[in-house]
Amino acid sequence: MNYTIIACQMLCDELNMAMYETGCQYPVIWIESDYHIDPDKLRLKLQEEIDKLNNVDNILFAYGCCGNGLIGLRALTAKLIIPKTDDCISMVLSQPGKRYERHKETYFLTRSWMESSKSILNEYLHALKKYGEKRAKRLFELMLKHYNYLMLIDTGAYDLASCSPEAEKLANNTNLKLIVEKGDIWFLKKLLTGPYDDDFCIVEKDTAVNISDFGYDYLKMPQQTL
């Protein structure tokens, strides 16, 4: 069986560590993390990458549902295996077998999230440069008015000390309280090793990923006619 991984750069540190720890050597196609901002563009990009693949039996996705960005994907000759989770936040903060409850009022960060070009850090620097400190603060007050915490997720896959000063600075500038919580890469390791049980959406070849594959409640309703 041939495997290929399609992965979001957002999970770069975590996937690399999971590969190291499991000894997995499948080829990885890295997708720029900015795509997560627009699920329609993400879907198009992922489909493009799927269509380029030959001689692959299983495509593993280091993604979650990602705002429906994975809904509708289809591979003619390969099976798609996708973690059954909302996004990378729930992926690294959930625990095996437990339902993940998202922390409220919290903006989440890891090192990769800070480094992406559309990260909140770069957002802030852009606003600061374009509008000056006073107005940048005002825009961020509006942007983050329902948030109280900035959470740096310690996934164990990167050196926390390398980015905590910057996270601290960002928290101060945006009036958020910096908190650190332990995350985990068990989901990514399981993606690499299996077993592909109920934690994953298994989508057979020439079948489109359906939102019900992710187990969202509202689709438990009887399917309406298309």
* Encoded tokens for 164: 């905590």
Of residues 52 and 220, the one with the C-beta less far from other proteins: 220
Q: How far is CA 83 from CA 86, 138, 199, in A?
A: 9, 38, 6
Residue with tokens 């993604």: 63
Closer to other proteins by CB, 124 or 158: give it: 124
* x/- letters, 9..38, toward other proteins (CB under 8 A): -------------------------x---x
Binding of residue 200 to other proteins (CB under 8 A)? no
Residue 86 sits in the site that holds other proteins (CB under 8 A): yes
Q: How far is the CB of 150 from other proteins (least distance, A)?
A: 14
Q: For residues 142-154, b (16+ Cβ closer than 10 Å) or e, as one string?
A: eebeebebbbbbb
Give the bridge partners for 67, in sequence order: none
Find where tokens 């280091």 sit: 62
CA–CA distance, 57 with 47 (Å, rounded to integer): 16
Q: Binding string to other proteins for residues 118 to 147, with x set by CB under 8 A, is what?
A: x---xxx-xx--xx---xx--xx-xx--xx
Stretch that binds other proteins, among 116-124, 178-186, 188-196, 197-205 (CB under 8 A): 116-124
- 53 lies in the binding site for other proteins (CB under 8 A): no
**Beta carbon nearer to other proteins, 172 or 208:** 208
Q: What are phi and psi of 113, to 5 degrees?
A: -65, -30
217 part of the interface to other proteins, by CB under 8 A: yes
